[in-house]
């Protein structure tokens, strides 16, 4: 654990600047607007260790995959989000000394992310020879006009005289740290001195992945008026330079307005004109006016989603930081997009889509955004069904196999133990259809497009299992479960369970589907019989003596011992070889428990308890997706202290750098875990069988907490304190809610206590 920002309910702020924490600081101060995002790099540049990163949603590059010995079915490329042309740069030189916090003397450092509105501010006093200048930077990515970034710097001379040279840049010569051979992913197209634009294109590739183009335009304003400097260009680069002189006490402000358009929305040849017009629109308003528009939208988002925690500012800060970062990454406004595990905050996992979305994002977004947002996420997968069929075919199997990692539906990761084997995703992804249907009560999707997804994946599963004469059961070999610290195991309980669930759910829902959907999927009686046979005879490993499900066939053959025996060697993924990890009993993230979480109402309390008590002590939680699931189950089982401990870990995973890897970027997709831990864990929300239920408690040390949810067209407020629970139906039709087994009849505007 490492905490470099201060505790505050609405701010992420620090007064420290340690060079060794620069990357961590950059991750934590990343901002985004669902369209683009950037790490907390410094406008004036920084010559020390740093990960420079600007990312554009939906823009990606297929980087060649190199494998020792190629085998059939291996993906040909590893899809990556290219580090995009940087528009942040405002080089500053004071009396000949380049402003560079790695080198110059400075004081009074402050860096602060305002979580109300995603506004990043930074200030410090530069202490040069015979001169002191206070610098105040602000920046935000416009949530209304998504193509716009606004950056402002104010400087005040506190002592002496300052000649200040500015060099505002657009820079397309950036590279990815995770490129295989330090290649550039971008090739220059053109630079326009007059328009202040650069345009670049992703390198050609042999994989039929479209090349993306990006045009960036910058314009400077001082005191609200456009100003111009001297422009020079080179390939994929533009510099605009000018100088000022300030006397002691004088102040100067400089605003850099940026427009970014890409070939996702605008044809190459139209990008310049569109950028010009967008800039005109942007500059029709002042920085403050634009910020006000931006803040108003954030205000609305918070009204629907804020979680209030009284009595524990660290917990409060954690949940707000997570909601902010999630919403800066994705708010469902572009149905071509999805949620990458690191959002716009780093290169790792490359902005691609994982099963994280369905497993962790969907249940939260169902609660705090409109159902259309979740439906967009479901539709995203439906749109990618052709890719899923392609993936299954590559493995020599029928049906549809959703990818582990993708931008377009085609698998784009290159490790076979993940790509070929971590196939549980192919049930987890369709499981979101069941969650959507169960939560919203809207069965129009499952009856129609949803059926294409269910039947496609059912056909895959029916072929992926095989009949074991030895066991007299259907078995499934060669999989990797959610616990990626075991690879290529046989009969992973979670995978077998979810595959069986998928087949059963598909069989249940198929007769209810629309006629068109039924004709489209065209399932034969023979197929149905086969699926039912698999449902009836699927092998699910368990140990009856211990009363637990077995993570996989050989799990008990391991050297079982608790995580407490290796405390000094954690995180094991940074201390141990991969070989040692694979053979160990230690679990990266919930696996059996993930299944119990997903299919919660199928298991008895005793089953939940025995499995939790067996597996939790073996779990190192080195996936950010793990603590929240454990927290929720712990809460359900009355293990409140454990639930709170694991909530802390999920809520402040990045703020406290629990897994010592936040330098690479934030764990965006797991950020929903803190919301789930509060709502499904502490408040015990369930929505089984068309019945909304709560079973709340207040964590020790908290005074109260409250949140709102959307449920079937209603807006409901839940407030929990030590006296009990208050439920208010803020908006919508009458509803029966169960709180701690007590039925409450809610009417609009009414609050009920329990």
Nearer to a copy of itself, 207 or 578 (CB): 578
492 touches 479 (CB < 8 A)? yes
Residues annotated as catalytic (active site), given as ranges: 484
Which uninterrupted H or E stretch holds 139?
Answer: strand 131-141
Shortest Å, Cβ 71 to a copy of itself: 4
Q: Of the ranges 315-323, 505-513, 571-579, 731-739, which one interacts with a copy of itself (CB under 8 A)?
A: 571-579
- Judged by CB under 8 A, the chain residues 584 through 603 that form the site for a copy of itself are none
Annotated binding-site residue? 393: no
97 versus 613: smaller Cβ distance to a copy of itself: 613
Is 582 near a copy of itself (CB under 8 A)? Answer: yes
CA pair distance 624, 605, nearest whole angstrom: 26
Contact 368, 709 (CB under 8 A): yes
- For residue 69, state whether it binds a copy of itself (rule: CB under 8 A): yes
Distance from C-alpha of 457 to C-alpha of 477, rounded to nearest angstrom? 17
Query: Which residue's CB is nearer to a copy of itself, number 411 or number 449?
Result: 411
In the complex with a copy of itself, the residue whose CB is nearer, 45 or 585, is: 585
Closer to a copy of itself by Cβ: residue 196 or 473: 473
478 binds a copy of itself (CB under 8 A): yes
Place of tokens 């005109």: 280
Among 16, 47, 180, 751, binds a copy of itself (CB under 8 A): 180
Residues in the interface with a copy of itself (CB under 8 A) total 56
H/E run at residue 642: helix 640-651
Q: Contact between 396 and a copy of itself (CB under 8 A)?
A: yes
**What is the bridge-based pairing of β-strands 692-694 and 735-739?**
parallel
- Interface stretch with a copy of itself, choices 254-262, 282-290, 328-336, 413-421 (CB under 8 A): 413-421
Phi, psi (deg, nearest 5) at residue 637: -90, 5
- What spatial distance separates the first Cα and last Cα of the chain, rounded to whole Å? 38
Does residue 71 bind a copy of itself (CB under 8 A)?
yes
The residues facing 255 across adjacent strands are 152, 221
The CA angle 481-486-489, to the nearest 5 degrees, is 70
556 sits near a copy of itself (criterion: CB under 8 A): yes
Tokens of 203: 């390198």
Determine the interface stretch with a copy of itself among 223-231, 485-493, 607-615, 735-743 (rule: CB under 8 A): 485-493
DSSP single-letter state for residue 81: P
Q: Own/partner pairs for 123-128, CB < 8 Å, 24+ apart?
A: 124/17, 125/158, 126/94, 126/99, 128/94, 128/95, 128/97, 128/104, 128/160, 128/162
**Site mask for a copy of itself (CB under 8 A), range 678-697, x = bound:** --------------------
**Which of these segments, 11-19, 369-377, 446-454, 557-565, binds a copy of itself (CB under 8 A)?**
557-565
Among 127-135, 310-318, 369-377, 409-417, the segment contacting a copy of itself (CB under 8 A): 409-417
Sheet of 308-310: strand order equals 308-310, 704-711, 714-721, 724-731, 751-753
- Is the CB of 292 or the CB of 560 nearer to a copy of itself? 560
* Minimum distance, C-beta of residue 587 to a copy of itself, in the bound complex (Å): 15
Contact between 579 and a copy of itself per CB under 8 A: yes
Smallest distance, Å, CB 470 to a copy of itself?
4
Here the tokens at position 106 are: 């400075």
Asked if residue 417 binds a copy of itself (CB under 8 A), the reply is yes
Choose between 3 and 580: whose C-beta lies nearer to a copy of itself.
Answer: 580
- Decide: is 660 part of the binding site for a copy of itself (CB under 8 A): no
CA angle 393, 337, 596 (to 5 degrees): 70
User: Is residue 604 within the footprint of a copy of itself (CB under 8 A)?
Assistant: no
Residue 146 annotated as lining a ligand binding site: no
Q: How far is the CB of 554 from a copy of itself (least distance, A)?
A: 5
| Residue 458 DSSP SS3 | helix
SS3 150: strand
574 binds a copy of itself, rule: CB under 8 A: yes
CA distance 198 to 88: 14
Any idea of the CA torsion for 627, 628, 630, 631, to the nearest 10 degrees?
110
Judged by CB under 8 A, does residue 255 bind a copy of itself?
no
C-beta of 374 vs 491, nearer to a copy of itself: 491
Q: How many whole angstroms separate alpha carbon 689 and alpha carbon 307?
A: 26
Of 10 and 74, nearer to a copy of itself (C-beta) is 74
- The verdict on whether residue 589 carries a ligand-binding annotation is yes
Spell out the alpha helix ranges (H) of 330-414.
356, 362-368, 371-383, 385-394
Q: By CB under 8 A, tell whether 20 contacts a copy of itself.
A: no
Binding mask 72-111 for a copy of itself (x = CB under 8 A): xxx---x---------------------------------
Which residue in 96, 130, 469, 601 binds a copy of itself (CB under 8 A)?
Answer: 469
Check binding of 487 to a copy of itself (CB under 8 A): yes
Is residue 416 a known part of a binding site?
no
Task: Indicate which single residue of 121, 305, 573, 674 sits in contact with a copy of itself (rule: CB under 8 A).
Answer: 573
Q: How far apart are CA 681 and CA 670, in angstroms?
A: 15
Q: How far apart are CA 587 and CA 623, in angstroms?
A: 9
> If binding is defined by CB under 8 A, does position 580 make contact with a copy of itself?
yes
Edge-first strand order for the sheet with 692-694 is 692-694, 735-739, 742-746
Residue 467 is a binding residue for a copy of itself (CB under 8 A)? yes
Among 143, 147, 164, 382, CA closest to 257: 147
Burial of 278 (0-12, 13-18, 19+ CB in 10 A): buried
> Looking at 44-52, 254-262, 322-330, 579-587, which segment touches a copy of itself (CB under 8 A)?
579-587
Burial of 723 (0-12, 13-18, 19+ CB in 10 A): exposed
Rg (Cα) of the chain, in Å, rounded?
27
354 binds a copy of itself (CB under 8 A): no
- Which of 15, 16, 49, 66 is in the footprint of a copy of itself by CB under 8 A? 66
- Residue 448 three-state SS: coil
Min separation Cβ 289 and a copy of itself, Å: 45
Contact criterion met (CB below 8 Å) for 244 and 164: yes
Task: Enumerate the known binding-site residues.
Answer: 355-356, 588-589
Task: Enumerate the known binding-site residues for substrate.
Answer: 355-356, 588-589
> Which chain residues interact with a copy of itself by CB under 8 A?
64-69, 71-74, 78, 180-181, 394-397, 413-418, 420-421, 466-471, 475, 477-478, 487-488, 490-491, 553-554, 556-560, 573-583
């Amino acid at each position: 654990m490492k905490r470099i920002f201060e505790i505050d309910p609405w701010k992420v702020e620090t007064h420290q600047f340690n060079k060794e924490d620069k990357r961590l600081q950059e991750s934590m101060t990343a901002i985004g607007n669902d369209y683009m995002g950037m790490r907390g790099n410094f406008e004036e540049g920084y010559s020390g260790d740093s990960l420079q990163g600007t990312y554009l949603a939906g823009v990606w590059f297929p980087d060649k995959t190199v494998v020792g010995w190629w085998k059939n079915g291996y993906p040909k490329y590893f899809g990556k989000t290219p580090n995009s042309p940087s528009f942040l740069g405002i080089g500053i030189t004071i009396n000949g000394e380049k402003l560079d916090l790695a080198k110059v003397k400075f004081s009074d450092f402050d860096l602060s992310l305002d979580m109300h509105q995603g506004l990043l501010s930074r200030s410090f006093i530069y202490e040069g020879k015979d001169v002191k200048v206070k610098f105040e930077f602000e920046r935000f990515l416009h949530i209304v006009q998504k193509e716009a970034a606004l950056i402002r710097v104010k400087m005040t001379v506190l002592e002496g005289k300052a000649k200040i040279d500015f060099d505002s840049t657009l820079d397309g010569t950036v590279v990815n740290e995770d490129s295989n051979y330090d290649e550039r992913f971008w090739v220059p197209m053109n630079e326009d001195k007059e328009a202040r634009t650069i345009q670049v294109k992703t390198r050609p590739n042999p994989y039929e992945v479209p090349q993306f183009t990006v045009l960036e335009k910058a314009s400077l304003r001082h005191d609200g008026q456009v100003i111009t400097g001297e422009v020079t260009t080179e390939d994929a680069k533009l510099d605009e330079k000018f100088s000022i002189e300030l006397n002691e006490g004088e102040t100067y402000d400089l605003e850099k307005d940026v427009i970014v358009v890409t070939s996702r929305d605008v044809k190459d040849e139209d990008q310049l004109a569109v950028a010009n017009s967008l800039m005109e629109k942007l500059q029709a308003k002042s920085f403050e006016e634009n910020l006000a528009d931006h803040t108003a939208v954030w205000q609305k988002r918070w009204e629907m989603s804020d979680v209030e925690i009284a009595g524990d500012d660290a917990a409060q800060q954690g949940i707000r930081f997570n909601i902010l970062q999630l919403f800066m990454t994705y708010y469902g406004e572009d149905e071509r997009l999805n949620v990458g595990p690191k959002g716009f905050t780093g290169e790792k996992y490359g902005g691609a889509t994982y099963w994280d979305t369905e497993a962790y994002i969907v249940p939260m977004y169902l609660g705090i955004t409109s159902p259309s947002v979740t439906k967009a996420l479901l539709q995203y997968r439906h749109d990618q069904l052709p890719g899923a069929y392609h993936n299954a075919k590559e493995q020599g199997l029928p049906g549809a196999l959703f990818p582990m990692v993708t931008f377009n539906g085609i698998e784009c990761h290159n490790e076979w133990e993940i790509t070929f084997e971590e196939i549980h995703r192919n049930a987890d992804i369709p499981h979101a259809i069941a969650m959507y249907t169960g939560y919203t009560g809207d069965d129009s999707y499952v009856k129609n497009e949803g059926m294409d997804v269910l039947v496609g994946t059912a056909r895959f599963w029916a072929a992926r299992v095989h009949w074991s004469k030895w066991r007299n059961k259907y078995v499934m070999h060669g999989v990797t479960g959610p616990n990626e610290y075991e690879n290529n195991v046989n009969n992973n309980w979670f995978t077998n369970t979810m595959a069986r669930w998928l087949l059963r759910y598909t069989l249940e829902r198929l007769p209810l589907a629309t006629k068109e959907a039924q004709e489209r999927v065209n399932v034969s009686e023979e197929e149905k019989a086969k699926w039912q046979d698999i449902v009836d005879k699927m092998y699910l490993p368990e140990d009856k003596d211990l009363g637990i499900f077995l993570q996989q066939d050989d799990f008990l053959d391991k050297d079982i011992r608790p995580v407490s025996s290796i405390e000094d060697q954690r995180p094991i993924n940074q201390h141990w070889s991969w070989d040692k990890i694979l053979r160990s009993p230690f679990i990266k993230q919930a696996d059996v428990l993930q299944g119990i979480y997903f299919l919660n109402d199928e298991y008895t309390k005793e089953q939940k308890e025995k499995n939790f008590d067996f597996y939790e002590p073996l779990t190192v939680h080195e996936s950010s997706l793990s603590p929240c699931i454990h927290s929720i189950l712990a809460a359900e089982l009355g293990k409140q202290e454990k639930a709170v401990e694991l909530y802390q870990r999920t809520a402040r995973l990045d703020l406290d750098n629990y897994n010592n890897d936040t330098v690479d970027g934030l764990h965006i997709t797991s950020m929903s875990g803190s919301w789930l831990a509060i709502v499904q864990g502490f408040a015990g929300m369930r929505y089984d069988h068309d019945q909304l239920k709560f079973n709340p408690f207040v964590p020790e040390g908290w005074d109260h907490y409250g949140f709102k949810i959307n449920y079937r067209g209603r807006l409901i407020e839940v407030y929990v304190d030590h006296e009990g629970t208050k439920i208010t139906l803020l908006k919508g039709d009458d509803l029966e809610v169960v709180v701690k087994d007590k039925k409450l009849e809610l009417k609009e505007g009414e609050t009920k206590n329990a």
